[in-house]
Amino acid sequence: MTELDEKIRDVFPEESIYKTSTRYNMFAGVNVPSFIKDWLIKRYSNENEEVDKEALFAFLEKHIPGKDSDIKSRLIKGESIQILVRVIVESDLKTGIFKFSIPDIGIKNNEGRISEYVMRTGNIKEGENWGIVTLDYVQPEGREKGYAELVKFKPFKPYTPDFDYYCAARSRFSTKEWIDFVIRCMEYNPDSTQFESYTQKLLFISRLLIFCEPNLNIIELAPKGTGKSYIFNNLSKYGWMISGGKVTRAKLFYDMASNKPGIIPNYEFVAMDEIKTIVFGNQEELQGALKGYLENGSFTMGQAKQTSTAGLILLGNIDLDSNRRPINKKYFQELPEVFHDTALLDRFHGMIEGWYLPRITEDLKLEGYSLNVEYFSEILSMQRGMSKYASIVTDMLEIPKEADTRDTTAIIRLATAYLKLLFPNVNSVMDVDRDEFETFCFKPAYEKRKIVRAQLSIQDMEYSPKMPDIKVRSFNG
């Protein structure tokens, strides 16, 4: 056990968990994200970190079914079913009925209804919900078809983190220890020989920026095998991953034909993975909607104007030369045509150059202590609504009057996200070490926006590659 292992276990005795690849092998064939796996391992582990495999397997078999389960037939036979699962809720204005689907076991939205009592409790919302559900089968009289009814729902939220305690705990770690700690919370090994520097580690945790900062928009281009998909698919129930298929304005924002909100209003962040494989319908319509939303976090559909805090990250592969640098110097040409519009690209705050990140190897898999993923993701979600961090960042910076507003907004938003990740315990500029802020928050934020501006200038002569002369103020805390 390393010194950092001991510190994590001592500082977070209830919230930490010992992770090994062999433990996760217990979930082979079970399609559940990391925040569910961690919760189950913690639930069935003793003080010596030994897992009661028999009890865990019994829980999986009873409460986490797969697509080949016989739940539908058991419901029809009159059995009441209780499972831990992902439920997608939709409202039908024409009938006044709330419908649900459970894709993981093949229950479609025309086969499921939610009882009025469950909707009145307020514990379940439109869109995706993770929780423990109780299902019964209803066979109405007459010609109406039978359906599964959701009669009980308990949200999966095993932790309500004490944020003050989390902040107090931060003071017991050095900044470099905390960076390693955050990498562990992402389920990776910060001591891996794959990591060559703390600059590289800082770039690696940049993938978490949209987890804690609202309306942050990022592009990441990276070679295959660098772990892009895993992080956005497994670390939080508050995000949504689009992988392939067709994306339209209705699917993303609001479907006026069915009066249903799209993906963006229902999540805290949306990742478009393997973006070259996604088909974008009516590109001009989608471009217009994205430009408005990425600019101010709102969109108009018909007579309704709605807002959302969801950030957007585009994840794409990029071909490298023998020196592991992009063959195509025009990075954004690696994106689908809908994102070739420079006015749209200008609304992305920063870019992650994924070719500087390590390829995922066995050595990068964590063997040690970290925070339970569910606890960590709840902390990041809580930080989204905390305005003090942006205020601190703004007070720390000298911004010229002639600075481009989009550049300024991007740098502040990115630096704020870094501050939340790395220095959650600060409450004012007096708590901030100027040099650490410049190294770990401002410079990486500035560089990520600089990449966007440089690429815009290559693609469109209207854009200058010159960045505003924004600096960190010359006082120290």
341 and 400 co-located in one domain:
no
Query: Has residue 150 been placed in a domain?
Result: yes
239 and 330 co-located in one domain:
yes
Residue 67: its pLDDT value, please? 65
Pairing assessment for the beta strands 269-273 and 350-353 based on DSSP bridges: unpaired
The token pair that represents 128 in the structure block = 């995706």
Query: Has residue 415 been placed in a domain?
Result: yes
Query: Has residue 286 been placed in a domain?
Result: yes
Judge whether 229 and 243 are in contact, CB under 8 Å. yes
307 and 439 co-located in one domain:
no
Judge whether 432 and 425 are in contact, CB under 8 Å. no
- Give one DSSP letter per residue of 336-398, joined into a string: -GGG--HHHHTT--EEEEGGGSPPP-GGGB--EEEE-HHHHHHHHHHHTT--HHHHHHHHHEE
User: How many separate domains does the chain show?
Assistant: 3
Query: Has residue 66 been placed in a domain?
Result: no
Task: Identify the bridge partners of residue 369 per DSSP, sorted by sequence position.
Answer: 18
Residue 477: its pLDDT value, please? 43
For the beta carbon of residue 97, count every other beta carbon within 10 angstroms: 13
Query: Has residue 178 been placed in a domain?
Result: no
Residue 475: its pLDDT value, please? 64
Q: Which of 360, 395, 422 is the last residue of a domain?
A: 360
Question: Phi and psi of 215, rounded to 5°?
Answer: 50, 40
356 and 450 co-located in one domain:
no
Query: Has residue 42 been placed in a domain?
Result: no
pLDDT along the chain (477 residues), means of 10: 94 90 78 84 84 89 78 91 90 84 88 89 82 92 86 85 96 97 96 94 97 98 89 91 91 82 92 93 91 93 83 94 92 94 97 95 92 93 97 97 97 98 97 96 98 96 95 74
Name the pTM for this structure: 0.88
Residue 301: its pLDDT value, please? 76
308 and 215 co-located in one domain:
yes
Judge whether 455 and 331 are in contact, CB under 8 Å. yes
Query: Has residue 257 been placed in a domain?
Result: yes
263 and 121 co-located in one domain:
no
Q: For residue 333, give the DSSP letter.
A: G
349 and 401 co-located in one domain:
no
- 3-state secondary structure at position 84: strand
Measured between alpha carbons, how far is 154 from 448 in angstroms, rounded to an integer? 41
224, HSE (Cβ side, Cα atoms, 13 Å)? 3
278 and 421 co-located in one domain:
no
Question: Phi and psi of 177, rounded to 5°?
Answer: -65, -40
141 and 214 co-located in one domain:
no
327 and 264 co-located in one domain:
yes
334 and 264 co-located in one domain:
yes
Q: For residue 277, give the DSSP letter.
A: G
The radius of gyration computed from the CA coordinates of the chain, to the nearest angstrom, equals 23
Residue 95: its pLDDT value, please? 81
The sign one gets for the Cα dihedral 138, 140, 146, 147 is negative
141 and 274 co-located in one domain:
no
Residue 145: its pLDDT value, please? 87
Residue 144: which domain range? 71-155
